[in-house]
Amino acid sequence: MGTRWIIAALTLAAAPAWAASNYAGCILEYAPKVANDTAAQAVHQLCLGQHPGGIEAVPRGSGRSMLGFKSGAECTAKKAGETRSQQAAYMVAVACRRLYDDDGPWNKYR
């Protein structure tokens, strides 16, 4: 079992840097395949290493033209529906909401 963890970590570490253009895209690339919370944490570390600004650096609503989802809920249902790790599913939901939901009408008054 320890060998599987090492192989999984090396696979994630060897992932090409061009795979996703921002933190949220990186999460959507790797997290849906994750089966446990330890591997979900490794995905978070990998994506944060590639995109140091994390989710805060991703402009809200910036993914609308990427995969064709109409909302964060639709993206979450599709991408996290079969994710076995609860933590990974939550990370997918946050990334989907950031990429596909509006910033909200209240922010125009800032």
Q: How far apart are CA 11 and CA 19, in angstroms?
A: 13
User: For the ranges 7-11, 20-24, 48-52, 101-105, which has the lowest average pLDDT?
Assistant: 7-11
Alpha-carbon distance of 15 to 68, in angstroms, equals: 24
pLDDT at 14 over 80: no
Sequence-separated (6 or more) residues with CB below 8 Å from residue 36? 84, 85
Average pLDDT, the chain: 83
Whether the per-residue pLDDT at 46 is higher than 70: the answer is yes
- Asked if pLDDT for residue 52 goes beyond 90, the answer is yes
pLDDT for residue 6 is more than 60: no
Average pLDDT over residues 11-29: 69
Tell me the mean pLDDT in the region 86-98.
Answer: 97
Q: How confident is the model at residue 26 (pLDDT cuts 50, 70, 90)?
A: very high
